[in-house]
């Protein structure tokens, strides 16, 4: 096989650098792992080339001199099958020396370690490569050596980067005659078992399958096409760079949507929902958006940035403009405005009334289409909710004006069973005399179901929402209710369950009210400031005690989250005792005995344990329990 020019172009500026540790690990995985689909390397190089063209197109709006004499943006794939060489060439923004060092020698994006861990576990890493923005390095799946030559637009110097992917890369200056006028050429010396990627038919298949709707024309230049004396170089166009979002929906095939979704979203799954339309009227804009079927890796990134690209009359403006609210950040796609000025800055975008109107209209459409799916395709929508429900519920807290729309979309696990339930379903099945929508907060579904707070509700057949996402603790406090029914925590305030009949139709024996009241006072006296009150409970059925929050203030679960985050102490809870429980009945009859003091500490400690907390004083709790057991069994 012919190798690329080994001339080093020795200059004082030539340097050899070691890859950062995570890049070295990544390259090792790329070279030594076996993936089921290596085609993706070309998709990633084309995607990078298209991004470079779009960036220069954007900069040229305010600096037209950057494209003076420019013949139009284009990506060229140069194939030399006999030499086993493949190049991807663009006439985009190009890179400076420092940019080549930073972009090709380090991985700056968050989530890199997570990507590497997942890549090491999966034989087929094709979905992960696109998601995590490390596409350039996929070239080492098929290449023994990679050479990158680049000249930044407007610069009078050019640079080259070369590496065999084995730990180091070389960076140096080169003669301008070897570099494009502006842009980047990535040349791969293909491995012996990957030379098919330099064949015309293979390249055409990959481009049509994965990159047919990249918004930059793609040409192929075949070196030595044909056989013998008839061999000659040939160039022809593979794609015209037409913007898919500008086409009528009826003219686009499903496979074209999927291919575009993979390119624009960096995703490999099939989109669950495609939203494609053109808005006309006061503001004109085209929209092509997708709801993924799998969670993007950065779904819970602290920055909560969206990944919808903004164009103005097909000129790329930004890939993270705040077009959609943060609670729709899982959406992927493009919004192209006819009304925004081409030279709009990112700072102006944040306060632009036209973009605000577009954002409102697009958000309305997304919520409307999701509601239709929820109504007509319940099983498909359930998968959307499983993937993105925790994010959509952020909108219940952050966008009060959107709550009615989001309540239509919200789905919950409840004490009724394993399936998803809507609030409409819940309200339709309210029990007689039930005036509230009950909910329970917790770390997990199993933890909530094990809570003693649910016992009285279960005994009366009352359905309880099981809220286990961190955001639940916040939105449910600020939401006034649904369909006139307020949300009420099962672990806060009085349960008010006496007006709702038990399912078995009979009441259990309880200790005399006077004895219970006296016992409660005795417990309060022993426990002091650790509890605000001790009272009889209607929410308990089989447990002896539980802790609840006062009527006003924060729910116990919410207060724990706030206290941990801000380092604050929690307010004293209310200790509820079950007058139907045999232990409480027995203790209530033994007023004035020494056992009451030990019982007070043990019951309070038991209530804390049931909440997943340790007793206030584990040593004292153990000593009292030991003393009580000795009396019982000694």
Cite the annotated binding site for ATP by residue number. 44, 48, 90, 95, 103, 110-111, 131-136, 184, 346
- Rounded to 5°, the CA angle 533-538-544 comes to 70
Specify burial of residue 313 (Cβ count, 10 A radius: 0-12, 13-18, 19+). exposed
List the end-to-end C-alpha distance of the chain, in Å, as a whole number: 89
DSSP code for 15: E
Helix (H), strand (E) counts: the chain: 20, 22
How many other CB atoms are there within 10 angstroms of residue 208's CB atom? 14
CA–CA distance, 277 with 245 (Å, rounded to integer): 8
Do the Cβ atoms of 537 and 576 come closer than 8 Å?
yes
Backbone angles phi, psi at 613, to 5 degrees: -110, 160
CA–CA distance, 631 with 586 (Å, rounded to integer): 16
CA–CA distance, 105 with 233 (Å, rounded to integer): 34
DSSP code for 485: B
Do the Cβ atoms of 519 and 591 come closer than 8 Å?
yes
Do the Cβ atoms of 529 and 572 come closer than 8 Å?
yes
CA–CA distance, 150 with 195 (Å, rounded to integer): 25
CA–CA distance, 168 with 145 (Å, rounded to integer): 12
Do the Cβ atoms of 296 and 307 come closer than 8 Å?
yes
Backbone angles phi, psi at 42, to 5 degrees: -70, -40
Query: What are the beta bridge partners of residue 465?
Result: 414, 439
Query: What are the beta bridge partners of residue 487?
Result: 437
* Cα–chain center distance at 341: 31
Backbone angles phi, psi at 486, to 5 degrees: -75, 155
Pairing, β 533-536 against β 545-548: unpaired
Burial 541-557 (b: 16+ CB within 10 A, else e): bebbbbbbbeeeebbbb
Known binding-site residues equal 44, 48, 90, 95, 103, 110-111, 131-136, 184, 346
Beta-sheet strand order (sheet of 464-467)? 417-421, 412-414, 464-467, 437-441, 487-489
CA–CA distance, 516 with 231 (Å, rounded to integer): 101
DSSP-derived 3-state class of residue 45: helix
């Amino acid at each position: 096989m012919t190798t690329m020019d080994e001339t080093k172009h020795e200059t004082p500026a030539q340097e050899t650098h070691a890859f950062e540790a995570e890049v070295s690990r990544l390259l090792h995985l790329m070279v030594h792992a076996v993936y089921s689909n290596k085609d993706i390397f070309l998709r990633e190089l084309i995607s990078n080339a298209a991004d470079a063209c779009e960036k220069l197109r954007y900069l040229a709006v305010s600096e037209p001199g950057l494209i003076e004499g420019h013949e139009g943006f284009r990506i060229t794939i140069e194939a030399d099958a006999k030499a086993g060489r493949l190049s991807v060439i663009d006439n985009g923004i190009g890179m400076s020396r420092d940019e080549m060092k930073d972009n090709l020698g380090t991985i700056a994006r968050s989530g890199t370690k997570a990507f590497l861990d997942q890549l090491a576990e999966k034989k087929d890493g094709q979905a992960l490569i696109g998601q995590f923005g490390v596409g350039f390095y996929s070239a080492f799946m098929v290449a023994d050596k990679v050479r990158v030559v680049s000249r930044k637009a407007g610069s009078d110097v050019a640079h080259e980067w070369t590496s065999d992917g084995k730990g180091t890369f070389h960076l140096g200056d080169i003669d301008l005659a070897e570099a494009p006028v502006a842009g980047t050429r990535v040349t791969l010396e293909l491995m012996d078992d990957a030379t098919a990627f330099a064949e015309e038919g293979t390249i055409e298949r990959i481009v049509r399958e994965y990159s047919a709707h990249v918004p930059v024309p793609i040409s192929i230049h075949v070196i030595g096409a044909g056989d013998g004396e008839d061999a000659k170089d040939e160039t022809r166009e593979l794609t015209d760079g037409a913007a898919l979002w500008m086409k009528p929906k009826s003219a686009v095939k499903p496979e074209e949507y999927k291919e575009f979704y993979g390119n624009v979203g960096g995703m490999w799954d099939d989109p669950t929902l495609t939203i494609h339309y053109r808005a006309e009227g006061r503001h004109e804009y085209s929209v092509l958006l997708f709801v993924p079927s799998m969670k993007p890796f950065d779904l819970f990134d602290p920055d909560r940035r969206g990944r919808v690209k903004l164009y103005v009359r097909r000129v790329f403006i930004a890939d993270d403009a705040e077009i959609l609210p943060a609670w729709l950040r899982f959406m992927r796609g493009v919004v192209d405005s006819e009304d925004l000025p081409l030279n709009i800055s990112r700072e102006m975008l944040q306060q632009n009334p036209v973009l605000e109107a577009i954002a409102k209209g697009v958000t309305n459409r997304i919520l409307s289409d999701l509601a239709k799916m929820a109504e007509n395709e319940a099983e498909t929508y359930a998968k959307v909710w499983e993937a993105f429900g925790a994010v959509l519920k952020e909108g219940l807290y952050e966008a009060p004006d959107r709550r009615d729309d989001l309540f239509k979309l919200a789905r919950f696990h409840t004490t009724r069973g394993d399936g998803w339930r809507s609030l409409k379903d819940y309200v339709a099945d309210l029990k007689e005399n039930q005036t509230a929508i009950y909910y329970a907060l917790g770390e997990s579904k199993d933890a909530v179901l094990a809570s003693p707070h649910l016992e009285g509700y279960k005994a009366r057949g009352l359905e309880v929402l099981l809220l286990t996402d961190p955001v639940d603790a916040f939105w449910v406090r600020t939401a006034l209710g649904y369909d006139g029914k307020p949300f009420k925590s099962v672990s806060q305030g009085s349960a008010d369950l006496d007006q709702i009949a038990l399912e078995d139709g009979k009441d259990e024996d309880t200790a005399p009210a006077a004895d219970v009241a006296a016992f409660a006072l005795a417990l309060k006296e022993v426990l002091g400031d650790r509890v605000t009150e001790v009272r009889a409970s209607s929410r308990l059925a089989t447990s002896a005690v539980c802790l609840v929050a006062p009527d006003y203030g924060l729910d116990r679960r919410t207060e724990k989250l706030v206290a941990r985050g801000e380092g604050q102490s929690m307010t004293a809870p209310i200790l509820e005792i079950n007058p139907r429980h045999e232990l409480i009945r027995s203790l209530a009859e033994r007023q004035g005995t020494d056992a009451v003091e030990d019982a007070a500490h043990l019951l309070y400690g038991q209530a804390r344990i049931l909440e997943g907390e340790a007793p206030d004083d584990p040593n004292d709790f153990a000593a009292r329990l030991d003393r009580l057991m000795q009396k019982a069994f000694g």
